[in-house]
Amino acid sequence: PPVIYYGTRTHSQIKQIVSELERSPYRPQMSILGSRERLCCNSEVLGERGGTLRQRCRSAVKEDRCAHHARLADADFAKGLHAKYLPYHGHGVFDIEDLGKFGREQIGCGFFASQVMAADAQIVFCPYNYLLDPVIAKSLKVNAKESIVLLDEGHNIESTCRDAGSADICILKLICLLYTSDAADEEDSA
């Protein structure tokens, strides 16, 4: 069956829709994709923000300095994450705070656990920029092909797509790029 991706503008909206799911009898295998800022439990990188946090996390993982991630790299351990969650929480529905707590207390990194769980989930909740921004989607291994994609509050999608397709460039960097490009052109013509 196809995976259902449910995208919202914010994590607080995800919390609301998960609350509604919890009230229903439907108990799909699920995951919530969230940021490192919300789900990381590595004391080496905690306290950092934005690009610094991402870079330090990637370095810790690459250099095998993150025991939280290492546990999830074990395929046998990672394979049963949904089953491991059930006795912990009592049922299969959780919000991002639950996932972060479960990660810290039971399984390791909630950030990477959410991706492992998404691989065999029936429904995946995430901010919709995770679906619409190709860089984010690729980094989180989101593959919406042959899936059902639901986007809550669709009137915000245009600005999200615009943000995903644009960049802020410092004028000094732009001047350096132009200068470097001009210099390369002069070398090519010489």
Element (H, E) at 146: none
β-strand partners of 126: 7
Distances (CA, A) of 20 to 17, 29, 130, 155, 189: 5, 15, 22, 22, 65
Whole-number pLDDT of residue 147: 92
Per-residue pLDDT reduced to its tens digit, 18-45: 889 888 888 888 888 988 888 887 777 7
**Amino acid residing at 80:** G
**Strands in 118-177 per DSSP E:** 123-127, 148-151
Of how many residues is the chain composed? 190
Per-residue pLDDT reduced to its tens digit, 156-181: 777 767 776 777 778 888 888 888 87
CA-CA distance, 87 to 184, in Å (whole number)? 62
Whole-number pLDDT of residue 78: 64
- Which residue matches tokens 């995770």? 130
**Strands in 10-144 per DSSP E:** 30-32, 123-127
**Strands in the chain per DSSP E:** 4-8, 30-32, 123-127, 148-151
DSSP 47: T
* 46-55, 58-67, 145-154: range with lowest mean pLDDT: 46-55
State the pTM of this model.
0.75
Phi-psi region of 183 (alpha: psi -120 to 50; beta: other; left: phi over 0): alpha
